[in-house]
């Protein structure tokens, strides 16, 4: 019988928060994790921590807004492995701090988009040849319930009154990328899905990481759970073009 190849998974922004929790869980399930991080020290420390727990992990320097670094990362993965099975586009920022849309600078909105949307597109495009080489393959885009236009426009939703134009529109755009890429890549055996982690106790948006979690805020393991579930589906699973969270499907 042919030897089963280890699943090779790249996670962007994986040195902390939801990305790191995802790396820990998928590594424990036997996946070989590539920790994408723009901060070499933190990325290497994360890898050390995973290796110490018996997880196969390596560091890849990856600022998703730096095209040269993205190309170098794809070249390195190609040279070292020649393929990739799972890409988890997790790196994200939120800089607009609920300022009214009428006052929010487009410079801030652009920064949100540079990381959350254009960074995700650039990384995805660069990794597609490796995912094709490793197919069947999966792309998981870490989105947000705040990017759901269905929830934002529903007066009965708690997101109706949320106001964060840069972050919300960047994550709505991520969802659109999921829809479009899922259709283009269906014939290549690559699934593409969006996941909402939910409100999670990380350092996201400048929150102090060690601050006590307010009521309703989940721990990091819960925030990572749906990403882990989607990345643990059998490699030949055909689920694609979905937007889900722990509680089920979300409206786009
Ligand atoms: N926490 C929540 O409540 C929540 C809710 C819904 C969705 N999400 C989404 O979940 C994802 C992970 O967030 P988190 O809560 O784990 O936040 P986090 O702890 O702040 O982690 C975000 C990660 O993204 C990285 N990152 C930021 N800009 C980057 C860039 N240009 N290139 C590469 N990496 C970059 C960060 O690195 P640095 O430390 O170097 O900045 C960090 O490693 C994000 O996409 C976020 O939008 C979070």
**pLDDT tens digits, one per residue of 8-57:** 999 999 999 999 999 999 999 999 999 999 999 999 999 999 999 999 99
Closest-lying ligand 1 atom to the alpha carbon of residue 15: 43
Q: Is the pLDDT of residue 1 over 50?
A: no
Q: Is the pLDDT of residue 3 over 60?
A: no
The CA 127 to ligand 1 mean position distance, Å, reads 20
Q: Is 46 in the pocket of ligand 1 (CB under 6 A)?
A: no
Q: Is 12 in the pocket of ligand 1 (CB under 6 A)?
A: yes
Which helix or strand (DSSP H or E) is residue 23 part of? helix 17-28
Compute how many other C-beta atoms are within 10 angstroms of the C-beta atom of residue 68.
8
Q: Is the pLDDT of residue 207 over 90?
A: no
DSSP 8-state code for residue 208 = -
In order of start, what are the domains of the chain with their CATH numbers? 8-249 (3.40.50.720)
Closest-lying ligand 1 atom to the alpha carbon of residue 19: 16
Give the angle 173-236-190 at the CA atoms, nearest 5°.
35
Q: Is 159 in the pocket of ligand 1 (CB under 6 A)?
A: no
Task: Compute the distance between CA of residue 180 and CA of residue 183 in angstroms, rounded to an integer.
Answer: 5
Mean pLDDT of 150-163: 96
Q: Give 32's contacts (C-beta < 8 A, 6+ positions apart).
A: 6, 7, 8, 9, 56, 57, 58
Closest CA relative to residue 50, chosen from 61, 35, 63: 35
Compute how many other C-beta atoms are within 10 angstroms of the C-beta atom of residue 76.
15
SS3 label, residue 215: coil
| Whether the Cβ atoms of residue 166 and residue 114 lie closer than 8 Å to each other | no
Asked whether the bond before 136 is cis by omega within 30 degrees of 0, the reply is: yes
Mean pLDDT of 146-151: 98
The whole-number pLDDT of residue 5 equals 81
Percent of all residues in the chain with a pLDDT value above 70, rounded to a whole number:
98
The whole-number pLDDT of residue 2 equals 47
């Amino acid at each position: 019988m042919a030897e089963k190849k280890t699943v090779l998974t790249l996670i962007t922004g994986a040195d902390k928060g939801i990305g790191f929790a995802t790396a820990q869980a998928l590594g424990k399930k036997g996946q070989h994790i590539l920790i994408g991080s723009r901060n070499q020290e933190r990325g290497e420390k994360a890898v050390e921590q995973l290796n110490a727990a018996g997880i196969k992990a390596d560091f890849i320097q990856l600022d998703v807004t730096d095209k040269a670094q993205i190309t170098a990362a794809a070249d390195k993965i190609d040279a070292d492995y020649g393929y990739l099975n799972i890409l988890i586009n997790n790196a994200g920022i939120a800089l607009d701090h609920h300022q009214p849309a009428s006052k929010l600078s487009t410079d801030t909105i652009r920064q949100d988009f540079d990381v959350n949307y254009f960074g995700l597109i650039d990384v995805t495009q660069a990794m597609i040849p490796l995912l094709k080489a490793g197919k069947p393959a999966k792309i998981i885009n870490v989105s947000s319930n705040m990017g759901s236009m269905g929830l934002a426009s529903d007066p009965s939703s708690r997101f109706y009154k949320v106001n964060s134009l840069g972050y919300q529109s960047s994550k709505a755009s991520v969802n659109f990328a999921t829809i479009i890429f899922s259709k283009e890549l269906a014939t290549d055996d690559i699934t593409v899905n969006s996941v909402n982690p939910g409100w999670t106790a990380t350092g996201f948006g400048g929150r102090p990481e060690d601050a006590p979690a307010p009521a309703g805020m989940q721990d990091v393991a819960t925030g990572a759970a749906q990403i882990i579930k989607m990345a643990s589906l059998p490699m030949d699973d055909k689920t694609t073009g979905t937007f889900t969270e722990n509680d089920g499907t979300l409206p786009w």
